[in-house]
Amino acid sequence: MELTHLDPSGQARMVDVGTKADTHRTAVARGTVTMSHTAYDAIVQGNVKKGDALGAARIAGIMAAKRTSDLIPLCHPIPLTRVEVRCEPVDGRIEVEARVESVGKTGVEMEALTAVSVAALTIYDMVKSIDRGMTISEVKLVSRSGGKSGEWHADDQPA
């Protein structure tokens, strides 16, 4: 198996995507923030001292997707055409989902994963005065499409 981010001498390099065709690319990632009932209730009722935790998390996730190449070494800067971040309270936890789209030469999986991660970290930051024991878990790619690899869905993978 050839590792695309290593040159022939084993040194890290940025992959040349210049000859790849521009295609519509999408990626969806998800993660979970689990917390105490007190922290969860504060978020749902809008009683977080720092303000709207879910609104701040959505904006942080969008901003993070746009800055992924500044954060992840060897990641290409990509002109994004859409970033949507959802933060939904569900049974004592916050489910975070990001959908990222672009028309370009390389995929947007890292942008979706970064959006989810930073949105989850923002929720933690907004509510840490109530619950420092929150956990961020299950950050994963759910689906991707575009390019020569085509469609991929986590649900289609063997366990």
pLDDT in the model for residue 149: 83
Residue 97's pLDDT is what? 98
pTM value is 0.89
In a domain, 95, yes or no: yes
Per-residue pLDDT tens over the stretch 122-135: 999 999 999 999 99
* pLDDT recorded at residue 159: 59
- Tens of pLDDT, residue by residue over 52-77, are 999 999 999 999 999 999 999 888 89
> Is-catalytic flag, 131?
no
Per-residue tokens: 1: 């198996």
Q: Evaluate if residue 137 carries a pLDDT over 80.
A: yes
Spell 42-72 as b/e; 16+ CB within 10 A means b. Answer: bbeeeebeeeebbebbbebbbbbbbebbeee
Catalytic residue from among 7, 52, 125, 156: 125
Domain count within the chain: 1
Q: What is the CATH number of the domain that holds 66?
A: 3.30.70.640
Tell me if 15 is assigned to some domain.
no
